[in-house]
Amino acid sequence: MYKIVLMRHGESTWNLANRFTGWVDVDLTEKGVAEAVEAGKLLKEAGLTFDLAFTSVLKRAIRTLWGTLDEMDLMWLPVQHDWRLNERHYGALQGLNKAETAAQYGDEQVMVWRRSYDTPPPELDAADPRASYDDPRYAALGRNQVPLTECLKDTVARVIPAWDDTIAPAIRSGKRIIISAHGNSLRALIKMLDGISDADIVGLNIPNGQPLVYELDADLKPIKSYYLGDQAAIAAAMHAVANQGKAK
Ligand SMILES: O=C(O)[C@@H](CO)OP(=O)(O)O
């Protein structure tokens, strides 16, 4: 049996401001930093430790990992940064307030943009300075690999190869791993792991900074999964994430 840990980053400045974030590289709030440390405490209490970490190339996930590993006295751990674990690209919505967008376009439309499996938000213009073409962290990617928007299906199409190419082989080789990533890149991974349908994935929301343990069998199929920490607080946090896209 293998045990892996998935964790969404702690609260970011744009989580606090309720803005669509996607590939915008915003930092953690103080609360987000504290959540990362608290996650480290919970992991220690659960008797978990790691040999290898995976994260995205966005600082909210990286800094969360740092806070957690620091608390666990594991800052020496090898870390693989992979753009394929980045948050789902939110297209032209990036930077907009979610509740204001719902007031303008309606809760239903925003729900489709946030959670539908295969309808992407409106695309960024390729000439928009918010496009990531010139960002050095994506220099190795072809222009057609740098998204201008993504639906969850598009995110699945890059997260699963990251799992197959690097994460799954590491687990099979016996490495105990933690993945610090994002709400929607983790939804993509969990959809695959748990075999969740395109329709049911709409209802899955991931709270900030809470370690999610997956116990996997020899074929890397989940035996069970559970969040560490205060279950009522986690349920409330998931509910709050679901409601972020509603007009006030
Ligand atoms: O804005 C985003 O990038 C994501 C995660 O914060 O938001 P949502 O939960 O609305 O998909």
How far, in Å, is the centroid of ligand 1 from the Cα of 242? Answer: 10
> pLDDT band at 195, cuts 50/70/90?
very high
82 falls within a domain: yes
Answer yes or no: is 172 a known binding residue: no
Asked if residue 64 is part of any domain, the answer here is yes
Distance (angstroms) between ligand 1 centre and the Cα of 174 equals: 33
Q: Is residue 40 part of a domain?
A: yes
CA of 19 to the centre of ligand 1 (A): 8
pLDDT digits (tens, 9 = 90+) for 214-248: 999 999 999 999 999 999 999 999 999 999 999 97
**Residue 18 pLDDT more than 90?**
yes
Q: What residues have CB less than 8 Å from 243, skipping those under 6 apart?
A: none
Residues within a 6 A CB radius of ligand 1: 15, 20-22, 87, 90, 98, 114, 183-184, 241, 244-245
Task: Report the complex ipTM.
Answer: 0.96
Q: What's the number of domains the chain is made of?
A: 1
154-186 pLDDT, tens digit each:
999 999 999 999 999 999 999 999 999 999 999
Q: Can you give the residue range of the structural domain that contains 170?
A: 2-243
- Is 246 annotated to bind ligand? no
Residues carrying an active site annotation: 9, 87
Whether residue 96 is contained in a domain is answered as: yes
Max CA separation in the chain (angstroms): 50
CATH at residue 144: 3.40.50.1240
Q: What is the mean pLDDT of residues 78-102?
A: 97
Q: Considering the chain, what percentage of its residues have pLDDT values greater than 90?
A: 99
CA nearest ligand 1 atom 10, residue: 114
Q: Which two tokens stand for residue 79?
A: 């870390």
Would residue 91 be called left, alpha or beta, if left means φ above 0 and alpha means ψ between -120 and 50 degrees? left
- Minimal-distance CA residue to ligand 1 atom 8: 114
Could you report the per-residue pLDDT of 43-75, keeping only the tens digit for each?
A: 999 999 999 999 999 999 999 999 999 999 999
**Residue 52 belongs to a domain:** yes
- What the block records as the tokens of 204 is 């899955």
Domain assignment present for 248: no
